[in-house]
Amino acid sequence: MTEKADLTSFDVPAVLDRAAAGGRITPEEALVLYRDAPLHALGATADALRRRRYAGTEHIATYIIERNINYTNVCVTACKFCAFYAAPKDTKKGWSRDLDDILRRCAETVELGGTQIMFQGGHHPDYGVEYYEKHFSAIKKEFPQLVIHSLGASEVEHMARISKVSVEEAIQRINAAGLDSFAGAGAELLPARPRKAIAPLKESGERWLEIMETAHNLGVESTSTMLMGTGETNAERIEHLRMIRDVQDRTGGFRAFIPYTYQPENNHLKGRTQATIFEYIRMIAIARIFLDNVAHIQGSWLTTGKEAGQLTLHYGADDLGSVMLEENVVSSAGAKHRSNLREMIDMIRTADRVPAQRATTYEHLVVHDDPANDPVDDRVASHISSTAIEGGTAHPELKLLATN
């Protein structure tokens, strides 16, 4: 597929009507709609599809409370867009957390009502399957209630290579140790040209998908992601969606699709123009339309702002990600948007949706259908105010952020 898909050869309203009626659209049609369809028509179609998929609960938008645990920033992969990593030789910048530190962070997550942790870090040259087995089993032993939704195909490829085992064995072993599902990290851009330009040492997009397909076939589901705005073309964005849709047709293992935008600070990519909010909202809409086999589309407003996040709920998104108790990766690259739990609930409510806290598997845990009874949060807010927001000392590193 080229960038030159021709608007004149498509009847845009007819394609939108077919999509709104549940018909599948081709990648070529998706490219034309993404690039040229009137914004409101695109959004109306996406919103109609969301409403139909969630008939009966279409008034609800969800969020989750989780903690991102960055276990190390040491990484051999040196992605050009990354502001988080330290090369193994850089002993001044590099760090790793010990198990006690990680367990303390899990304890804080439980204390604040979090249900999920996202283990996220660099490709450390010494961390094979055994490292993850040890840490996941220790977390599950102390905190069986925490869901470990973490890592992705890139980490699996790396740990399997370090431990000299197959990716199947790596997945089975970390799953047995406590990993519940993969977060889909490392997808970045799946087509070869933009992927090589920003992450030349990562596995190919095809390999990323192959590993996720293997995980799905072994019963470990995942989410899927996309990094927008590092110089890829519109056709390459749509190709990324096509690659995900094809795997999803075979496995059904992607629970959600989460696009987010490149942040330009402190990394080695030069002269990139960030994706605009309009591009982002159009991506949310075309993802809802094109990925007819993926249930959840998440608006990741950490990198685009709260108003953009609210708009995504009217352009096909049904979820706004997480109130995240700690985040260091996209913040390192310049993401500045923050929110606490009350703000997350207000953000969803003022976007004309009823907020609901969800589980990792998207079941509603608490529906905040009466503002007078918002539980938010004497319990969580008091912890926030005594630690991060008012600069308390109990947990000096605790930051209440919201992200994907």
What is the binding site for ligand SF4 (CB under 6 A)?
Answer: 75, 77-79, 82, 84-85, 122-123, 154
Instruction: Report how far residue 183's alpha carbon sits from residue 84's, in angstroms, rounded to the nearest whole number.
Output: 18
- Reduced to 3 states (helix: H, G, I; strand: E, B; else coil), residue 198 is helix
Residue in the block written with tokens 């790396």: 158
Of 263 and 298, which has the nearer Cβ to ligand SF4? 263
Cα–Cα nearest to 255, from 223, 293, 229: 223
**CB 213, CB 250: distance < 8 Å:** yes
Provide the token pair at 369: 């259908």
Cα within 13 Å of Cα(134), Cβ side:
10
Minimum CB separation of residue 194 from ligand SF4 in Å reads 14
Q: Which residues are annotated as a binding site?
A: 75, 79, 82
Of 230 and 387, which has the nearer Cβ to ligand SF4? 230
Of 202 and 358, which has the nearer Cβ to ligand SF4? 202
Minimum CB separation of residue 329 from ligand SF4 in Å reads 7
**CB 318, CB 296: distance < 8 Å:** yes
Of 198 and 348, which has the nearer Cβ to ligand SF4? 198
Q: Which residues are annotated as a binding site for [4Fe-4S] cluster?
A: 75, 79, 82
Minimum CB separation of residue 75 from ligand SF4 in Å reads 3
Minimum CB separation of residue 227 from ligand SF4 in Å reads 9
Of 140 and 158, which has the nearer Cβ to ligand SF4? 158
Minimum CB separation of residue 207 from ligand SF4 in Å reads 14
Exposure pattern of 2-21 as b/e (b: 16+ CB <10 Å)?
eeebeeeebebeebbeebbe
